[in-house]
Structure 1
């Protein structure tokens, strides 16, 4: 019985990000495309956070977003991110302000504020476990 509870405990706490763990603080779609977020909790080194400008479809794993645009995989650097740390990501240069790794698949092109930007956590870029934060600057959803 102890082994069973240990497995459940490890499973429940194996995800390192939850909704609200990051909050967008900036999305720039004029000139140098990019965005920034603040960590509202400590985030462990090696955690991968995905960002996309694909539209949400509400589907299950593999179909949560439509396709045709881009996905950024941001890997938290050694030492992690402390609560309150602001991280900027330049989508054109594929760089971050804190040394984390940025890998872009497709093209994240933030078109003058009409693109949604989703931050999410998952086992890979197409399996969404948790939507962390959403930004959209448009008059209609």
Structure 2
């Protein structure tokens, strides 16, 4: 019982750390971008910062659909705290093993995501808590229908919302990230710049 109370207290303290300075976030739409996507095995993704971010910045991620006013409630959520030091623009953050026990190369995480190979989307946003976005930052999907909609997100498909080819389960850039914000946005939205792996789709035969 004592151990359970200690674990509960630690969980509360960690959550407070995520939220304590969240109102001071100065991130805007397009200030981060997704740089990779993988929905196979333990799942992973990565982002690049397109501006310096302050210590203890919190970014939320969800693979739920957006209906124009709110997120659904059937899928998962991940929160990332950037840590105690400022992170400079063009730092790449890698999230691995996000299905079971997420890890990141900077900061720390709470929660998890479970990406579907049949089609999914990840939204990144800042807010007060899970599923309560104050401002959308970026999104990525391997099926435009999986966004739900981009209405009222201020995200622009082909710029701050990256749509990969249908049935993609892995998208990795062939070359290093470019050195300016506009070059990176152009690089990430050009499918020629990726190595893709695709889900095998079988079609049942029909008798006529």
Unaligned runs of 5+ in 1: 1-12
Q: Which residue of 1 aligns with 2:130?
A: 125
**What is the CA–CA distance in structure 2 between the aligned matches of 1:113 and 1:83, rounded to whole Å?**
33
Distance 1:139 1:45, change over 3 A: closer
Shift of 1:140: 4.8
**What is the CA–CA distance in structure 1 between the aligned matches of 2:93 and 2:118, rounded to whole Å?**
20
Q: Which residue of 2 aligns with 1:16?
A: 26
When the two chains are superposed, the root-mean-square deviation of aligned CA atoms in Å is: 1.8
Structure number with higher helix proportion: 2
Unaligned runs of 5+ in 2: 1-22, 147-208
Flag the structure with larger Rg.
2
Shift of 1:80: 2.4
Aligned length: 122
> Which of the residues 99, 103, 108 maps onto 2:110?
103
TM-score in terms of structure 1 length: 0.79
1:56 is paired with a residue of what secondary structure?
coil
Structure 1 stretches of at least 4 aligned residues deviating more than 6 Å after TM superposition: none
Structure number with higher strand proportion: 1
Alignment of 1:75-114 (within 5 A): 75-90=81-96, 91-92=98-99, 93-98=101-106, 100-104=107-111, 107-112=112-117, 114=119
TM-score in terms of structure 2 length: 0.55
